[in-house]
Amino acid sequence: MTELVAQGRIAGRTPVAVVDIGSNSVRLVIYEGNSRALTMLFNEKVLSGLGKGLAQSKRLDERSVSSALAALARFRRLIDQAGVTEVHPLATAAAREAVNGPDFVAAAEAAIGTPIKILSGADEAHYAAEGVVAGFHDPSGIAGDLGGGSLELVDIANGRINKGLTLPLGGLRLQDLSGNDIGKARALADSYVAGCGMTGSGEGRPFFAVGGTWRNLAKLHMEQRRYPLHVMHGYESPVSEWTDFLDAVAKGDPDKMPGIAAVSKQRRALLAFGAVTLQAVIKHIRPSTILLSALGVREGYLHSLLPDEERRKDPLIEAALEFAVLRARSPAHAVELAAFSRLTFERLRIEETPYEERLREAACLLSDVGWRAHPDYRGAQSLSMLTHASFSAVDHAGRAYLGLANFYRHEGSFEQSMMPEMLDLVGPRLLERARFIAALFRVAYILTASVPGILGRLQWRQDPRGGFTLLLPRDLGGLISEKPVSRLETFAKIVDRKLRIEAA
């Protein structure tokens, strides 16, 4: 039998793995390779609870140690099977603080088969912030990484990471220190956050929430709001929408809360402690919004290893280009389309913000990723694929824009949507922009049939009769017929310009 070679992965990349030995969970993540746009190949966690009881005993629980070591031995086998070339085991608060931490680390290194890097609190803060920088476009705000043993806080200004700090407010630790008393936990969280020296530093800025407990709080928040897009990364809402919600989580029985089915039973016990810690952050640091980051210490550590040239790349554009390579009929055509759209918008004086420019370029790179679907369903499948894709550095309105641009491109109707909730998510301005670019896609694809080497030969000229003319070289004049003319007329109507198409 002929060997089957996977075509769904970027050629030339070799897998890298991060093993995260935390106070609550032990996790293995294998990535396709270390790049500006990380893609997971495999992800598994075991809630060993290494930090449970540590605040009182100062020791790692024997049962938790056995669970963690068994998980690490399994992870070693998986790493070998996957052909991983680089393994980065990281250990955090529980391993570095416990009296028997050194013994555990020695056994863990034997199980995983490679030295383990013990992160200090400052290291954790820095790599959590690196994760935010890896996952957002020029982020500015306060990053907070809540683990089982500690909370790290760090100020990020336009992608620049300032010195961070660590507080003993991890969910397991806070549960232990308070004797499982939420009132005492709230007082502890209040005291530590109030005294950390960051009072008011979040005013007018987002708080980037990192860590499993806060992600699960956000899942519950989404469910209760009936939020239309269940993608954690980039989920953002004003602090005012969290106030009553956090109070209810802290006071109530989590198993009886509406929407709790979205949170695993193993994670529910720490929700209240995560809630009171976030309440303290809101009260003292005073951010304007809560913004979830799915990227944290693991991704931040890998990001720190990249060369400067790679770090300067835009992760959204890199991810979109990878999608084109893996799914489009011609990635070269997608790149040409991005250039053609830029020239078109400039020539027709269609105003764009830098934010909209990034989205337009990404939309062009993604414009043909649904071509293998049945023609009747290309729009709907592309919409679902792109709004739910594992992109970073794009907000939820931007996701909706990318999906709708592709949807309208395939559907041809600019008044309908099979997911009307996306229209509310995208907002009027971006919805208009999605229709602009989709109408241009329909002109470009009917002229090129997704073949590269055509779009770069087309030119927009000011027409003395008014408006603009799309000029084709004489040898391409045969492409002009009723259908391209009709599509150009639709584009003209949508962008409110007078447009013609002619051969030079």
pLDDT in tens, 131-155: 999 999 999 999 999 999 899 999 9
Verify that 92 and 224 share a domain, yes or no.
no
Position 374 scores a pLDDT of: 96
Position 180 scores a pLDDT of: 93
Does residue 1 sit within a domain? no
Residue 396: give the domain boundaries. 315-503
**CA gap 329, 430 in Å, rounded:** 27
Verify that 137 and 261 share a domain, yes or no.
yes
pLDDT band at 160 (very low <50, low <70, confident <90, very high): very high
Does residue 149 sit within a domain? yes
115-136 burial: b if 16+ Cβ within 10 Å, else e: ebebbebebbbbbbbbbbbbbb
Give me the residue label for tokens 């720490």: 270
Position 266 scores a pLDDT of: 85
In this prediction, residues 9-31 reach a mean pLDDT of 95
pLDDT, tens digit (0-9, with 9 covering 90-100), for 476-501:
999 999 999 999 999 999 999 999 99
Strand-pair partners of 206: 289
Does residue 10 sit within a domain? no
Does residue 493 sit within a domain? yes
Verify that 191 and 277 share a domain, yes or no.
yes
In this prediction, residues 174-180 reach a mean pLDDT of 93
pLDDT, tens digit (0-9, with 9 covering 90-100), for 63-100:
999 999 999 999 999 999 999 999 999 999 889 999 99
Write a three-state SS string for 291-327: EECCCCHHHHHHHHHCCHHHHCCCHHHHHHHHHHHHH
Q: 249, 266, 299: which is the final residue of a domain?
A: 299
Q: How many CB atoms lie within 10 A of CB 278?
A: 27
Displacement of CA 74 from its chain's centroid (Å) = 28
Q: 118, 135, 158: which is the final residue of a domain?
A: 118
Position 2 scores a pLDDT of: 63
pLDDT band at 417 (very low <50, low <70, confident <90, very high): low
pTM for the whole structure? 0.94
Lowest mean pLDDT among 108-112, 261-265, 460-464: 261-265
pLDDT, tens digit (0-9, with 9 covering 90-100), for 330-352:
999 999 999 999 999 999 999 99
Position 504 scores a pLDDT of: 87
Verify that 359 and 461 share a domain, yes or no.
yes
Verify that 113 and 182 share a domain, yes or no.
no
Position 416 scores a pLDDT of: 62
Answer yes or no: is pLDDT of 6 > 80.
no
Give me the residue label for tokens 């989404």: 222
In this prediction, residues 196-213 reach a mean pLDDT of 96
Position 255 scores a pLDDT of: 86
In this prediction, residues 347-365 reach a mean pLDDT of 97
| Whole-number average pLDDT of the chain | 94
pLDDT, tens digit (0-9, with 9 covering 90-100), for 439-450:
999 999 999 999
Q: Identify the DSSP state of 263.
A: S
Position 185 scores a pLDDT of: 96
Strand-pair partners of 153: 144, 165
Displacement of CA 503 from its chain's centroid (Å) = 44
Position 418 scores a pLDDT of: 59
Does residue 484 sit within a domain? yes
Scanning 87-181, the segments in alpha helix (DSSP H) are 93-97, 101-112, 121-135, 171-177
CATH assignment at residue 323: 1.10.3210.10
Does residue 11 sit within a domain? no
Answer yes or no: is pLDDT of 176 > 80.
yes
Verify that 278 and 224 share a domain, yes or no.
yes
Verify that 325 and 435 share a domain, yes or no.
yes
Verify that 285 and 369 share a domain, yes or no.
no
Verify that 104 and 219 share a domain, yes or no.
no
Verify that 110 and 155 share a domain, yes or no.
no
Position 419 scores a pLDDT of: 66
Verify that 142 and 281 share a domain, yes or no.
yes
3-state secondary structure of 20: strand
Answer yes or no: is pLDDT of 422 > 90.
no
- Split into its structural domains, the chain has a count of 3
Verify that 129 and 113 share a domain, yes or no.
no
Answer yes or no: is pLDDT of 1 > 60.
no
In this prediction, residues 381-392 reach a mean pLDDT of 94
Does residue 3 sit within a domain? no
3-state secondary structure of 479: helix
Percent of the chain past pLDDT 70, that is, above it, reads 99
Position 267 scores a pLDDT of: 87
Q: What is the largest CA-CA distance in the chain?
A: 85
Position 415 scores a pLDDT of: 73
Angle between helices 396-411 and 354-365 (to 10 degrees): 50
Q: 299, 326, 359: which is the final residue of a domain?
A: 299
CATH assignment at residue 150: 3.30.420.150
CATH assignment at residue 97: 3.30.420.40
